[in-house]
Amino acid sequence: MIENVISRTIQLLFIMIVGFYARKRKFIDRANVQALARLLSNITNPLLIICSFQMPFDAHIMSTGLTIFAGGVVIHLVTAVICYFVFRSKTNPKDNVVYELNTLFANCGFMGFPILAAIYGDKLGIMYGAFYNTVFNLCFWSYGIAMLSRHERSGKKQKLDFKKLFLNPGIIATVFGFILFICEVKIPDALLGGMDMVGDATFPLAMIIIGALIVELDLKTAFKDLKLYICLFLKLLAFPLATLGICLLCGASTIVTQVLVVLSGMPSATLGAVFAEIYGTNPINAAKLVCITTVISVGTIPLLLYITNLFI
C-alpha cells in the first residue's frame, strides 16, 4: 500500500515539474493557469466525483462514507478554532488571514483523491474522498469566504453567498452522484466512458496548476517567515497525528482512520491561492504556502500513512 502511495506521489511530483517547466518556458502564463483552474473546478473535478459513485449500492460503503463526513466536520471545526487563535495577531492582518486560511483548508480533492485512489482503487477511493470533500466545500464557501472578506481589497465585508455555498460544482456533483448511487441508477457505458476520460484529467491538471504557481515563489524570502514553519508543522504533522489519536480513542475503523489522517495531512488548498487573489489578501504569499506545503507533503504523506498503519 505504502509503495503505491509513494509511486503515485512521485507521479504527481513529476507532473508538477512539467507545470513548472511549462510556465518557466512561457508555454502558459498566469491567465492560462487561471483558466485551467476554472476548467478543473467546474468541469473535470465534478465529472470525476459523479463517476466515482457509479458502483453497486452497498450499505457498508455508505455507512463508512457518512462516518468520514462526520469526521470531516469535527476536524474542520476543531482546526478552525486552533487556526483562529494561532494567527489572530492584528499585525499584518492580510498576511495572517492567508496563513489562517491555508493552514485550515487542505488540498483534499486535487491531491487527496489520487492518493486515496492509490490506496483503495479509483472508484472507492474517490468516493470516500468525496464525502470529506463535501465538508471542505461547505466550510470553504462559508467560513473561508467570510474569513477572506474581513480583509478584502475594497475594505467592505461581503454577505455570505448561500448560492455559492450550496450550488457550487463540487457540492452539486457529490449530491447528484450520491443520488445515483443510492437509487442504483447506472449511467450508459458510452456516456460514462467519456465522463471518465474527462474526469481523469483532474489529477494532471491540478498538479500542472500547482507547478505553474511555483514559478512565482521567491526562494530568497520564502523561508524567512516564522509563521510559515507554524503552518507547516500544524498542517502536515500536528493536525493529522492528532486526528490519528482521536480516531484510535474513538475506535474508528481502519478505512475511516486512514482516510481522515491522509486527507487532514494534505497540503494547503489550491483554492486558497485563487481566492486570495480575488479578495486581494496577499495572493503571492498564499501561492507560496500552496507550493511549499505541496513539495514537503511528498515526504510527509507516506510518513503519515506508515505511522497510521503501525497503530491500526
Distance CA 154, CA 149 (A): 9
pLDDT of 231 higher than 50: yes
Distance CA 242, CA 232 (A): 15
Please indicate whether residue 70 or residue 200 has the higher confidence score (pLDDT).
Answer: 70
- 249: pLDDT confidence band, cut at 50, 70 and 90? very high
Instruction: Read off the amino acid at residue 199.
Output: G
**Cα R_g (the chain), whole angstroms:** 18
DSSP 8-class letter at 312: -
Grid cell digits, residue 303: 510518513
Burial of 56 (0-12, 13-18, 19+ CB in 10 A): exposed
Most confident of 18-27, 146-155, 219-228: 18-27
**What's the mean pLDDT in 134-163?**
70
**Is residue 176 within 8 Å of residue 50, measured between CB atoms?**
yes
Delineate the domains of the chain, giving CATH numbers in brackets: 2-311 (1.20.1530.20)
- 198: pLDDT confidence band, cut at 50, 70 and 90? very high
Instruction: Read off the amino acid at residue 304.
Output: L
* pLDDT confidence of residue 154: 47
Most confident of 169-173, 260-264, 277-281: 260-264
Count of C-beta atoms within a 10 Å radius of residue 199: 24
- 151: pLDDT confidence band, cut at 50, 70 and 90? low
- 65: pLDDT confidence band, cut at 50, 70 and 90? very high
pLDDT of 153 higher than 60: no
* pLDDT confidence of residue 4: 77
pLDDT of 152 higher than 60: no
**What's the mean pLDDT in 72-81?**
96
pLDDT of 129 higher than 50: yes
Distance CA 311, CA 246 (A): 12
Kindly tell me the number of DSSP H helices and DSSP E strands found in the chain: 18, 0
pLDDT of 155 higher than 50: no
pLDDT of 126 higher than 90: no
Distance CA 230, CA 238 (A): 10
Which secondary-structure segment (H or E) carries 66? helix 59-86
3-state helix/strand/coil string of 148-184? HHCCCCCCCCCCCCHHHHHCCHHHHHHHHHHHHHHCC
**Is residue 113 within 8 Å of residue 119, measured between CB atoms?**
no
- 117 closest CA partner among 52, 28, 60, 22: 52
